[in-house]
Structure 1
Amino acid sequence: MKQDPDMQLWQGRVDAAEGPLGQRWHQIVKPLTALPATNAQGSVALLGFACDAGVARNHGRTGAKDGPAAIRAMLGNMPVHECKVIFDAGDVLCPAENDNDDNSLESAQEQLSAQLAALLARGLFPIAMGGGHEIAFGSFKGLATHLAMHETVPRIGIINLDAHFDLRMSEQASSGTPFRQIAEDCVARGWPFHYCCLGVSSFANTAALFERARQLGVNWRLDEDMGTAQMPEIQAMLAHFLAEVDHVYFTICLDVLPASVMPGVSAPAAHGVALDVVESVIDMVCDSDKLRLADIAELNPTYDIDHHSARVAARLLARIANNVSA
């Protein structure tokens, strides 16, 4: 189910005395219906994924379905810098699962995929806002659908900042299965599976998940190997990974950050990766000129403290938007 954007969510300060240089995002964002037929190339489009059915299936703390609205509320007051054209494409909704509709998650992922493919076809740069990390399967399929129209075997690299591999085996899709599903989708298409997961916690992934990651040829770094002092090694690893792909899907699961920085998630991290390291990774991925689509997952306002998590999520999203607009 698709819902048009609620532009009333875009509120913020107005610094009229500062002129155009004093603008904030709430003053420039427009509904997607205002997108002109021309000159849309490279503009940022935001799409919410108001769904946490995958988190529920994964036995996590629900509430991430309210993430997109919480992020918008914090983005409204964001100052305008490099990103000067923003469109709000609304939200993909996922009705609560019940006995009569046990495929609502899969339907929402298909809707997300279709919406993202349509945005890409119009020359926009989509940033999706979750919602649980089940968003990843829909995001990847949206990019895959778009690229399949232009290339026979596109080399897509997936870069995931996350405490979890999300490679679980399960009869049902969930927030813990998306990258295993993507791997299977790549096999079905005859495409290579290029997956890099940064910030993995040894204490949040079973031995079975590490073994599956090895079997699938996943590149990863543990959270304890993602310190500021290790940035040269991280950058070298990313440079090697980026050199082997032509297109990048970048996804940030907010539980990669320490719980002290990011309390409002389904599974807060005991260790996590520092915010400055996460932002350095964002800059490097954006500077590659291979980034095609990004999303931010797992913001759970129910467990946030004074909107702290939502503010960090908005900062990361704005950093991506400014980088791709520069």
Structure 2
Amino acid sequence: MKYKFFGLPMHYGADSIGLNFGIDELKKELKKKNHDIIEKIDVVNAEEDFDEKYIKYINSITANCISLAKKVNEAVVNNYIPVSIGGDHSISMGSISGVAKEMDIGVIWVDAHGDMNTHETTVTGNIHGMPLAALQGYGHEKLVNIFYKGPKIKTQNVVIFGARNFDYREKLFIEQLGVKVFYHKDILNNGFTRELEKAVNYLTSKINKIHLSFDLDVINPDLLPGVSNPVEDGITLEQADYIFDFFIKSNLLSSVDIVEYNPAFDKNHVTRDFTVRLIEKFM
């Protein structure tokens, strides 16, 4: 399998300074190992309507996601598996759109959060809490129509894995749509490998290619502190390794995201070093 690596150091979706420095930190560390592999995409700053408090930085986010979608789509057309590195999780609206234009895919959204808000349900107005809804066709039309018009993935082909923090209205929306969720409490109660196997089987019963969208905040912040929105508890580093090793060895991967590394909150570079470790698995 051939991989292409794209880095989009966008922080607008989280409205959190620090995310914009993550790609440079990763590139610097990889270069020390003679792995100059990440193609950095310059972040676009678009004119915004700052009265739109429930959909912050929508024009900049849309523009940047389109830039990423074009790069990812070109990689897919040329038979590469694109690995998109953030930056905040809103970049997934670009990465998944770029892949979905060429093939039907399932998505395993590995995240402490659901990212299923819209501008009508959000508490913060931060768009990194909205991408999974927009990709299914729900929310602001500018987000839904990134790269091309309409939904990019079907709800029946979506799994949220490892979640442990939802907004109230977001959770109601997830239940209303019937999105399949494997909660962190399920992992604790039933076992990690068993729940991951169930999640994969759920998707592969309907689809044969899967996009792995991995938010580093799914990991216990005591182990991996360098994220913008830490949530107590979470999976272990070994379990995160297992997820990547499993999908790399499978023939299921269409594409990958690794998002929300924020060096501003890191301690002793442990998050940087672990993210580099995940990237090196593809080499």
Partner residue in 2 for 1:52: 11
Aligned with residue 273 of structure 2, among 311, 315, 320 = 311
Three-state SS of the structure 2 residue aligned to 1:72 is helix
1:78–1:212 Cα change, 3 Å? farther
Instruction: Determine what percentage of the aligned residue pairs are the same residue.
Output: 23
Q: Do the aligned residues in 1 keep the contact of 2:162 with 2:183 (CA within 8 Å)?
A: yes
**Partners of 2:231 and 2:75 in 1: CA distance:** 33
Partner residue in 2 for 1:7: none
Tell me if 1:162 matches 2:111. yes
**Paired amino acid for 1:47:** F
Tell me if 1:43 matches 2:2. yes
Tell me if 1:289 matches 2:251. yes
Tell me if 1:133 matches 2:95. no
**1:280 Cα offset (Å):** 1.7
**Partners of 2:44 and 2:2 in 1: CA distance:** 27
How large is the RMSD of aligned CA atoms in angstroms? 2.7
Three-state SS of the structure 2 residue aligned to 1:47 is strand
Aligned with residue 66 of structure 1, among 21, 24, 28 = 21
Q: Do the aligned residues in 2 keep the contact of 1:49 with 1:131 (CA within 8 Å)?
A: yes
Q: Do the aligned residues in 2 keep the contact of 1:44 with 1:87 (CA within 8 Å)?
A: no
Q: Do the aligned residues in 2 keep the contact of 1:92 with 1:112 (CA within 8 Å)?
A: no
TM, length-normalised to structure 1: 0.73
**1:244 Cα offset (Å):** 1.8
Three-state SS of the structure 1 residue aligned to 2:194 is helix
State which structure, 1 or 2, has the greater radius of gyration over its C-alpha atoms.
1
**1:200 Cα offset (Å):** 0.7
Q: Do the aligned residues in 2 keep the contact of 1:47 with 1:92 (CA within 8 Å)?
A: no
Partner residue in 2 for 1:6: none
**Partners of 1:268 and 1:188 in 2: CA distance:** 32
Tell me if 1:115 matches 2:115. no
Partner residue in 2 for 1:220: 181
Tell me if 1:182 matches 2:143. no
- Point out where structure 1 has 5 or more consecutive residues left out of the alignment: 1-41, 81-85, 148-153
Three-state SS of the structure 1 residue aligned to 2:210 is strand
1:46–1:296 Cα change, 3 Å? same
TM, length-normalised to structure 2: 0.83
Three-state SS of the structure 1 residue aligned to 2:150 is helix
Q: Do the aligned residues in 2 keep the contact of 1:125 with 1:293 (CA within 8 Å)?
A: yes
Paired residue total:
262
**1:222 Cα offset (Å):** 1.6
Partner residue in 2 for 1:95: 45
Tell me if 1:275 matches 2:237. yes
**Partners of 1:318 and 1:239 in 2: CA distance:** 27
Q: CA offsets, 1:183-204, max 9 Å, x none?
A: 1059935963311111111xx2
**Paired amino acid for 2:275:** A
Q: CA offsets, 1:45-95, max 9 Å, x none?
A: 111111111111xxxx33211111122233335599xxxxx7443324133
